[in-house]
Amino acid sequence: MYPQFITYLLKYIKFQEKIIFMLMSIILGKSVARGLYDEPIDKPYRKLEVDEMPIIETLEKLDYKKLLKDYQDKHDKPLKPVIRRNSVVKIPANLTCPKCSAPSDYLYANNGDKGQYLCKVCDCLFSKKNRFLKEAILRCPHCLKSLERIKERKDFDVFKCKNNNCSYYKQKLNQMTKEEKKRFKQDPQAFKVRYIFREFQLDFDPLVKETPVKPKVDLSRIYASPHTLGLILTYYVNYGLSARKTAALMYDVHEVKITAQTILNYANSVALITKPFVDHYPYELSNSFCGDETYIRVKGKWHYLFFFFDAVKKVILSYHVSPNRDTTSAIKAIGDVLTKFKEIPKDLTFVVDGNPIYILAQHYFAQHDIDFDVHKVIGLTNNDPVSEEHRPLKQIIERLNRTFKGNYRATTGFGSQMGSVSYVKLFAAYFNFLRPHASLENQVPVVIPELKTLPHMPARWTKLIALSQEFLIEQQSA
Ligand SMILES: [Zn+2]
Ligand SMILES: [Zn+2]
């Protein structure tokens, strides 16, 4: 282990930090100093009433093979695939007709590059956006009438049940007080009285893992020995020291002269190399996951960091960073978790806060035939029975957030916001492979035998980098 004086030094640094904060508060005023140190006050998320899923009625599908045969019988010649005159518009090779499943050879790009296609076999006109609706009709679960599309937004369309005899609508009207009814007459938009469904269309395939790309980073250009690099990462990531303090420590204790900027550059490079390894590692997973959002600063602006992790195995599976706390981000974060499975288990549970974005994400995945439960844990004083049962899980993720923030805050304490996303990546690598966990009998969440036998942390970092590089090379040659 490290000599005792380092432990002392770390304690001293923390103490020093407190004093500096006090001084800055006096000089700059508390709010300014706080801005340098603290995360913003937790903003409440937009309250939104999310109705249950609509009834999805799948339309009868045509079979292009049968249609082609019918054509042959009728015209005495086969229907030829579409002839492409060195066209600029590329049709994705895996695109098929939603109605008859004809392969891309039979699809015309109908309107230039606007993404509308026409099937030569069955005349179905479709786009990526309305593809789902060419396969299904959405019906109100209360009255079974088909839903009407009333709004088109960037990522989603809004559907509404406009039936005046719908039980949902009638009940909502009945629940209103006299005063509310009066207000409703003047301003009907202020009330949600009809069944609503939001259909999210994202330009991403929910279950396709990104293929690891070898980053354009050359670690051989790092002018530090592997051991020195391991030491730097240990202080910077494991102990959450800022780049500046890490640089000072490297000089004061190890007599290595290195600038804070160089440390940040090293951290960026290592993050790029270890990320594919962290994301593609064949984790053994349970079936219950917790998710939460926390704040980080990216290029001077507050962003949301979506953490999702295995509640039992304590493995971080998503660390999605987004400027918005929206459904798209929730879908991507849950997608990160789902892609870690070879086969998605039937009884998946996600425990999250009460933010409706997770329910909307659940609907999105249900449309893609991926079902899971979402349990909301609202606050910590909630006595709702579901919350009670899942409160320990919520506490687990809040502990993870605290661990992260404890490390992260110090690294950005002096307003340096460089590489905060890199820091998140390194933290995930550290958390999954290097950090012993009390509830796992002080084992690391994912035990890699090659790391276990090593004498100290810098050596483990070095080995983790080597394994990540090997993984990338394997992927390249595969
Ligand atoms: Zn077709
Ligand atoms: Zn209805």
- Residues 48-63: pLDDT tens digits? 788 888 888 877 788 9
Burial zone of 293 (CB within 10 Å; 0-12 exposed, 13-18 middle, 19+ buried) = buried
Average pLDDT along the chain: 83
Q: How far is the CA of 170 from the centre of ligand 2 (A)?
A: 10
Q: Is the pLDDT assigned to residue 72 strictly greater than 80? A: yes
C-alpha pair distances (Å), 390 with each of 127, 285, 289: 41, 18, 11
Which ligand is nearest the CA of 165, by number? 2
Q: Give the model's pLDDT for residue 445.
A: 93
Q: Give the model's pLDDT for residue 108.
A: 87
Would you say the pTM of this structure is higher than 0.85?
A: no
pLDDT tens digits along 246-299: 999 999 999 999 999 899 889 989 999 999 999 999 999 999 998 888 888 877
Check if the beta carbon of residue 400 is closer than 8 Å to that of residue 307: yes
Q: How far is the CA of 99 from the centre of ligand 1 (A)?
A: 5
Rounded mean pLDDT of 26-51? 58
Q: How far is the CA of 140 from the centre of ligand 2 (A)?
A: 5
Length of the chain: 478
Q: Give the model's pLDDT for residue 354.
A: 79
Going through 266-343 in order, the beta strands assigned E by DSSP cover 288-298, 301-310, 316-322
Q: Which of 323 and 8 is assigned the larger pLDDT?
A: 323
Cβ atoms within 10 A of the Cβ of 311, count? Answer: 22
Rounded mean pLDDT of 418-441? 87
Q: Give the model's pLDDT for residue 67.
A: 94
* Out of 12-21, 113-122, 187-196, least confident range: 12-21
Which ligand is nearest the CA of 131, by number? 1
Q: How far is the CA of 87 from the centre of ligand 1 (A)?
A: 21
Token digits of residue 408: 């992260």
Q: How far is the CA of 134 from the centre of ligand 2 (A)?
A: 21
Q: Which of 27 and 258 is assigned the larger pLDDT?
A: 258
Check if the beta carbon of residue 54 is closer than 8 Å to that of residue 166: no
Q: Is the pLDDT assigned to residue 381 strictly greater than 70? A: no
Task: Give residue 449's pLDDT band: very low, low, confident or very high (50, 70, 90).
Answer: very high
Q: How far is the CA of 79 from the centre of ligand 1 (A)?
A: 13
Q: Give the model's pLDDT for residue 36.
A: 47
Check if the beta carbon of residue 198 is closer than 8 Å to that of residue 158: yes
Q: Give the model's pLDDT for residue 34.
A: 47
pLDDT tens digits along 398-417: 777 777 777 776 555 434 44
Task: Give residue 212's pLDDT band: very low, low, confident or very high (50, 70, 90).
Answer: confident
Which ligand is nearest the CA of 163, by number? 2
Q: Is the pLDDT assigned to residue 337 strictly greater than 70? A: yes
Q: Give the model's pLDDT for residue 49.
A: 80
The bridge status of strand 373-376 relative to strand 349-352 is: parallel
pLDDT tens digits along 158-204: 999 999 999 999 999 999 999 999 999 998 888 899 999 988 877 66
Task: Give residue 302's pLDDT band: very low, low, confident or very high (50, 70, 90).
Answer: confident
Q: Which of 41-50, 136-145, 147-156 has the highest mean pLDDT?
A: 136-145
- Here the contacts of 106-114 (C-beta below 8 Å, separation 24 or greater) are 106/64, 106/79, 106/81, 106/82, 107/82, 108/82, 113/88, 113/89
